[in-house]
């Protein structure tokens, strides 16, 4: 049970009062209250952004009604602010709680950001179900905040009837002695929202579960502590479910589709034998190899690489080094089991915390031990390397009653392809196993990661990795080698629509000049002798200003020479001239990147489309988009929202290019997983309705030629080995059982896809 701290009642705008006001007994919900809205004493502490607030009365109780104008704005927020800072340090372990009532029929996915006086903040999110009234809380101080479990969001550590707001990013530990802002808002919605809030207050844990991270996972990789639909309890049950599904699958495209899943009932345009783009009656379109209009719907990440989780065990490093000399890679190495006869005696527990999450892992002589693997490095997690296990692959072995890898992969491939066709998808999305490239059943997209020891630059963010220096000759070589390898895999197949390059690079963010122009600002600090991009920036400025005195005048700097400029410049002041030049540098940098990549694609895959670099909505700028548009065939974006909000996408008309959504998803907690994903819904049923809303917003947009869901399979319950991602975002769960409401929604969208997209354009 969560309760407020007895004896510390009455919060003002600064310190916590040590006395109960008027020495009265204070009601449970009224202890440590920051705002209860019974008095008009809050207005100076409220800010709104694309929103409005007003007091309303319900049965004698006052609440704050919040109206969010989210249909016409990308973001809508309201904020509790206190410039002096709320001091909650003396309370000990505690959470910030708030009552939220949602009178709407649909759920609302709310983002919550808490900020201290130094500017450090943490971001969380939660879904507020339709027609609901609940209490939600943020743990701001407690032992759980200091535990690195290797899971994106842990199970609740406090037993209560309240709903935890899931940690999303930023600093888990902020300065609770000086909290200056608590903001709540929404992003990327297709409709306005309204909800009521009450009793912003502090609460304390009285029932901490010391075993909340122990015994999480059963033998099928499911949540051992919860019950949910399609939870498997035996192999026999899994076989019955599989047999029923197999009887319903088909092996050909929907009626009215071409060989390549284009719109056979629509007009037939020029056929080139490969996919191409064309603007047809004011709408950008893909055209399939036979000349039929084509819209790409599909699912990403149909592969085994992200199905493994870190087990908490490792092996003697001399053995690992032997394997590294052979075929181990940083990726999960399934089927290359380090837990072999030679390795098993050296196996040891490297993380007690991780190891105790599992109720079962196979012994050395268990046939399912072939689902162990190894990861030499992780992006983030409790440990930096170690043994992995794929419960998903183990469940496939149970389901198909085979431990032969070739037979298993054939069965998995057949079922997956038939699912895609039966569900009406017109393609696979990005990141599919190479074995799917030549089924000649469904179009697909290839992917290229350009990696190597070339020089890099920094945007100041570099979440996934630093950015390449495209002026480094080694980058040019690596791009050529990478695309040559992709060409070998594709074999000039007409089933390959195109190739995506890299993914979600941190090109820059639009929240300030320093983040927008971060690549240029950080590169200017470098010495041109060691940075090819910096050398290019020097030439760019020399060509514009000729004399350093002219640059000094424009930039308000005191550089003595171009040599000093080349050695390194740290900018501390910005003006219009500086920003104009930084913008030019940023475009120059990006233009080189996309030109190098396009040249390699044209050389090695002349018949496939250049699908771009899959921009994250948080990591792109106008300069980057303009540079990309000059070279790619299709602009690609990963956009995790509830739909295509008009305000955010206003730039599409300026670029006027065919565009595609590379990633989107949603999830819910009724799956047994601990994290819904980046977009929250209240149930599996609502996952389906939200999917339809998103897809229809894409289909109705004249610039888009497709959208791909991320991903095929749920993340592991205890987090994927690479970075702990543990989302309910699959079309199928860890037992390879489809989520029926989501599948039915996809069927409905795909069945009417072309008729909705082109309406009466059959001729």
- Answer whether the bond into residue 711 is a cis peptide, omega within 30°: yes
pLDDT of 544 > 50? The answer is yes
Report CA 490 to chain centroid distance, whole Å. 27
Q: What number is the average pLDDT over the span 371-392?
A: 92
Tell me, what DSSP letter sits at residue 326? T
Nearest of 474, 472, 459 to residue 505 by alpha carbon: 459
- By the 8 A CB rule, do 745 and 683 touch? no
pLDDT, tens only, 630-679: 999 999 999 999 999 889 999 999 999 999 999 999 999 999 999 999 99
Helices (H), 491-575: 513-516, 518-524, 532-545, 548-555, 562-567
HSE value, Cβ hemisphere, 13 Å, CA-based, for 585: 29
419: left (phi over 0), alpha (psi -120 to 50) or beta: alpha
Nearest of 387, 570, 396, 602 to residue 483 by alpha carbon: 602
State the Cα angle at 134 between 132 and 137, rounded to 5°: 140
**What are 585's two structure tokens?**
């540098």
Q: What is the 3-state secondary structure (H, E, C) of 686-725?
A: HHHHHHHHHHHHHHCCCCEEEEEECCCECCCCCCCCCCCC
Measured over the CA atoms of residue 586, residue 590, residue 593 and residue 599, the dihedral's sign is: negative
Compute the mean pLDDT over every residue in the chain, rounded to the nearest whole number.
91
Could you tell me whether strands 179-187 and 75-86 are parallel, antiparallel, or unpaired per DSSP bridges?
antiparallel
pLDDT, tens only, 419-429: 999 999 999 99
**What are 409's two structure tokens?**
């992969």
pLDDT, tens only, 111-166: 999 999 999 999 999 999 999 999 999 999 988 898 999 999 899 998 888 999 99
Higher pLDDT, 741 or 145: 741
Q: Which residues pair with 75 in a beta bridge?
A: 187
What is d(CA 370, CA 393) in angstroms, rounded to the nearest whole number? Answer: 9
What is d(CA 507, CA 637) in angstroms, rounded to the nearest whole number? Answer: 13
- By the 8 A CB rule, do 112 and 142 touch? no
State the Cα angle at 191 between 187 and 197, rounded to 5°: 70
Tell me, what DSSP letter sits at residue 540? H
Which of 172-186, 309-323, 721-735 is predicted with the least confidence, judged by mean pLDDT?
309-323
Q: Within a 10 A sphere around the Cβ of 478, how many other Cβ atoms?
A: 19
Percent of the chain clearing pLDDT 90 (strictly above): 84
Q: What number is the average pLDDT over the span 613-628?
A: 96
pLDDT, tens only, 564-605: 999 999 999 999 999 999 999 999 999 999 999 999 999 999
What is d(CA 664, CA 640) in angstroms, rounded to the nearest whole number? Answer: 5
pLDDT of 54 > 60? The answer is yes
Nearest of 478, 434, 418 to residue 452 by alpha carbon: 478
Percent of the chain clearing pLDDT 70 (strictly above): 92
Q: What is the pTM of this model?
A: 0.93
Could you tell me whether strands 179-187 and 108-116 are parallel, antiparallel, or unpaired per DSSP bridges?
antiparallel
Q: What number is the average pLDDT over the span 312-324?
A: 74
- Residue 6: per-residue pLDDT: 31
Nearest of 296, 246, 201 to residue 609 by alpha carbon: 296
pLDDT, tens only, 2-38: 333 332 333 433 333 332 333 322 233 446 899 999 8
Q: Which residues pair with 709 in a beta bridge?
A: 299
- Residue 669: per-residue pLDDT: 97
- Residue 761: per-residue pLDDT: 61
The DSSP-derived string for 334-358 is TTS-SSSTTTGGG-EES-HHHHTTB
Nearest of 739, 653, 756 to residue 695 by alpha carbon: 756
State the Cα angle at 738 between 374 and 307, rounded to 5°: 10
- By the 8 A CB rule, do 408 and 396 touch? yes
**Cβ neighbourhood burial of 170 (10 Å; 0-12, 13-18, 19+):** middle
pLDDT, tens only, 440-466: 999 999 999 999 999 999 998 887 789
Report CA 79 to chain centroid distance, whole Å. 25
**What are 742's two structure tokens?**
């989501």
**What are 673's two structure tokens?**
């997983």
- Residue 155: per-residue pLDDT: 93
Hunting for tokens 């809030």 — which residue is that?
Answer: 197
The length of the chain in residues reads 763
CATH number of 413-708+734-753: 3.20.20.80
Nearest of 78, 69, 68, 126 to residue 679 by alpha carbon: 126
Q: Within a 10 A sphere around the Cβ of 308, how many other Cβ atoms?
A: 27
End-to-end Cα separation, the chain, in angstroms: 66
**Cβ neighbourhood burial of 372 (10 Å; 0-12, 13-18, 19+):** buried
Long-range contacts of 524-528 (CB under 8 A, 24+ apart): 524/568, 524/569, 524/570, 524/571, 524/585, 525/568, 525/569, 525/570, 526/457, 526/568, 527/566, 527/567, 527/568, 528/566, 528/567
What is d(CA 629, CA 591) in angstroms, rounded to the nearest whole number? Answer: 9
- Residue 41: per-residue pLDDT: 72
673: left (phi over 0), alpha (psi -120 to 50) or beta: beta
Helix (H) or strand (E) holding 204: strand 193-205
Could you tell me whether strands 2-3 and 193-205 are parallel, antiparallel, or unpaired per DSSP bridges?
antiparallel
**What are 550's two structure tokens?**
């002219």
- Residue 596: per-residue pLDDT: 98
| Position 208 confidence tier, pLDDT thresholds 50, 70, 90 | confident
Tell me, what DSSP letter sits at residue 508? -
HSE value, Cβ hemisphere, 13 Å, CA-based, for 3: 10
What residues have CB less than 8 Å from 427, skipping those under 6 apart? 261, 296, 297, 298, 442, 443, 444, 445, 497, 706, 708
- Residue 760: per-residue pLDDT: 62
What is d(CA 291, CA 268) in angstroms, rounded to the nearest whole number? Answer: 5
Report CA 295 to chain centroid distance, whole Å. 23
What residues have CB less than 8 Å from 662, skipping those under 6 apart? 300, 429, 430, 500, 503, 614, 636, 637, 638, 708, 710
What is d(CA 17, CA 31) in angstroms, rounded to the nearest whole number? Answer: 11
Q: Within a 10 A sphere around the Cβ of 367, how many other Cβ atoms?
A: 11
What is d(CA 571, CA 589) in angstroms, rounded to the nearest whole number? Answer: 18
Domain ranges of the chain: 2-205, 309-389, 413-708+734-753
- Maximum distance among all alpha carbons in the chain? 84
Tell me yes or no: is domain 2-205 CATH 2.60.120.430.
yes
What is d(CA 418, CA 246) in angstroms, rounded to the nearest whole number? Answer: 9
HSE value, Cβ hemisphere, 13 Å, CA-based, for 15: 4
- By the 8 A CB rule, do 524 and 537 touch? yes
3-state helix, strand, coil in the chain (%, to 5): 30, 25, 45
């Amino acid at each position: 049970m969560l309760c407020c701290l007895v004896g510390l009642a009455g919060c003002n705008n600064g310190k916590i009062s040590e006395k109960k006001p008027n020495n009265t007994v204070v009601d449970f919900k009224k202890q440590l209250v920051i705002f209860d809205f019974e008095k008009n004493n809050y207005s100076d502490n409220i800010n709104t952004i694309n929103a409005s607030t007003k007091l309303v009365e319900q049965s004698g109780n006052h609440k704050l009604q919040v109206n969010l104008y989210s249909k016409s704005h990308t973001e809508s927020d309201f904020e509790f602010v206190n410039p002096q800072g709320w001091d909650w340090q003396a309370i000990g372990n505690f959470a910030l709680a708030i009552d939220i009532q949602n009178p709407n029929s649909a759920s609302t996915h709310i983002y919550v950001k808490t900020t201290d006086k130094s500017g450090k903040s943490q971001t969380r999110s939660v879904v507020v179900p339709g027609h609901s009234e609940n209490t939600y809380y943020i743990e701001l101080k407690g032992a759980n905040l200091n535990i690195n479990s290797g899971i994106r969001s842990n199970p609740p550590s406090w037993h209560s009837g309240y709903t935890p707001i899931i940690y999303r990013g930023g600093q888990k530990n902020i300065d609770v002695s000086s909290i200056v802002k608590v903001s709540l808002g929404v992003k990327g919605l297709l409709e306005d929202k309204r909800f009521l809030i009450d009793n912003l207050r502090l609460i304390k844990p009285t029932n901490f579960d010391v075993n909340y991270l122990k015994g999480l996972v059963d033998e099928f990789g499911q949540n051992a502590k919860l019950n949910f639909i399609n939870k498997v309890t035996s192999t026999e049950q899994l076989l019955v479910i599989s047999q029923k599904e197999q009887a319903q699958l088909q092996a050909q495209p929907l009626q009215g589709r071409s060989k390549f899943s284009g719109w056979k009932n629509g007009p037939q345009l020029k056929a080139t034998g490969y996919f191409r783009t064309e603007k047809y009656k004011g709408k950008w379109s893909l055209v399939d190899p036979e000349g039929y209009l084509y819209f790409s719907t599909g699912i990403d990440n149909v592969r085994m690489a992200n199905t493994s989780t870190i087990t908490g065990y490792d092996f003697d490093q001399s053995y690992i080094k032997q394997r590294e000399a052979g075929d181990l890679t940083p990726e999960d190495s399934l089927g290359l089991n380090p837990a072999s006869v030679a390795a098993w005696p050296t196996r040891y527990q490297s993380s007690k915390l991780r190891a105790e999450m599992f109720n079962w892992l196979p012994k050395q002589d268990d046939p399912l031990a072939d689902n162990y693997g190894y990861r030499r490095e992780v992006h983030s997690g409790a440990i930096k390397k170690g043994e992995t296990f794929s419960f998903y692959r183990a469940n496939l072995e149970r389901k198909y009653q085979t431990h032969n890898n070739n037979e298993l992969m054939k069965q998995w491939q057949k079922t997956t392809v038939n699912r895609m066709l039966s569900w009406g998808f017109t393609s696979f999305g990005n990141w599919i196993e190479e074995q799917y490239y030549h089924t000649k059943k469904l179009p697909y997209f290839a992917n290229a990661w350009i990696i190597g020891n070339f020089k890099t630059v920094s945007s100041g963010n570099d979440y996934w990795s630093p950015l390449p220096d495209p002026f480094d000759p080694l980058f040019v070589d690596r791009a050529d080698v990478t695309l040559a390898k992709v060409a070998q895999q594709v074999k000039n197949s007409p089933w390959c629509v195109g190739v995506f390059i890299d993914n979600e690079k941190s090109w820059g963010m639009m929240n300030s000049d320093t983040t927008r122009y971060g690549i240029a600002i950080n590169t200017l600090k470098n010495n041109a002798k060691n940075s090819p991009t910096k050398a290019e920036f020097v030439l760019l400025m020399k060509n514009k200003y000729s004399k350093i005195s002219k640059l000094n005048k424009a930039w308000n700097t005191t550089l003595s020479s171009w040599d000093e400029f080349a050695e390194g410049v740290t900018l501390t002041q910005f003006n219009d001239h500086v920003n104009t030049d930084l913008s030019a540098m940023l475009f120059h940098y990006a233009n080189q990147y996309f030109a190098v990549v396009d040249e390699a694609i044209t050389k090695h895959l002349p018949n496939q489309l250049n699908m771009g670099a899959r921009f994250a909505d948080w990591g792109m700028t106008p300069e980057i988009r303009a540079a990309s548009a000059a070279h790619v065939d299709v602009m690609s974006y990963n956009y995790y929202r509830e739909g295509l909000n008009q305000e955010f996408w206003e730039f599409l008309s300026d670029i006027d290019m065919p565009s595609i959504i590379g990633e989107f998803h949603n999830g819910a907690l009724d799956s047994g997983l601990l994290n819904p994903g980046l977009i929250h819904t209240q149930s599996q049923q609502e996952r389906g309705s939200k999917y339809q809303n998103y897809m229809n917003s894409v289909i109705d947009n004249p610039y888009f030629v497709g959208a791909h869901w991320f991903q095929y399979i749920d993340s592991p319950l205890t987090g994927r080995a690479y970075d702990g991602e543990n989302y309910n975002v699959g079309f199928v769960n860890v037992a390879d059982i489809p989520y029926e409401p989501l599948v039915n929604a996809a069927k409905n969208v795909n069945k009417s896809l072309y008729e909705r997209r082109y309406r009466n354009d059959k001729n």
